[in-house]
Amino acid sequence: MKFTALQIATHISGKIEGDETIVVNGFSKIEEGKEGYISFLANPKYEDHLYSTNASIVVVSNMLELKEPVKPTLIRVSDPYASFAKLMRHYQHLLSTNMAGIEQPSFIHPTATIGKDVYIAAFSYIGENAVVGDNVKVYPHTYIGNCAKIGNHSTIFAGVKIYHNCVIGNHVLIHAGSVIGGDGFGFAPQTDGIYKKVPQIGNVVIEDFVEIGANVCVDRATMGSTIIRKGTKLDNLVQIAHNVEIGENTVVAAQAGISGSTKIGKHVTIGGQAGIVGHIHIADGTRINGQSGVSKSIREENVTVTGTPAFEFSAAMRSQAVIRKLPELEKKIKELEALLEILLKEKEELSS
Contact 182, 219 (CB under 8 A): yes
- Residue 32's CB is within 10 A of a number of other CB atoms, namely 12
Cα Rg of the chain, angstroms:
28
Closest CA to 77 of 91, 102, 58: 58
What residues contact 26, with CB distance under 8 A and at least 6 apart? 36, 37, 38
How far apart are the C-alpha atoms of 348 and 324, rounded to whole Å?
Answer: 38
Instruction: Specify the pairing of strand 275-276 against strand 257-258.
Output: parallel
Residue 256: which of 226, 291, 304 has the closest Cα?
Answer: 291
Q: Which of 242, 267, 279, 281 is catalytic?
A: 242
Angstrom CA distances, 186 to 163, 226, 263, 278, stand at: 17, 14, 18, 12
Q: Specify whether the CB–CB gap between 201 and 182 falls below 8 A.
A: no
| Nearest Cα residue to 183 out of 223, 136, 227 | 223
- Whether 242 is a known active-site residue: answer yes
- Any idea which residues carry the catalytic annotation? 242
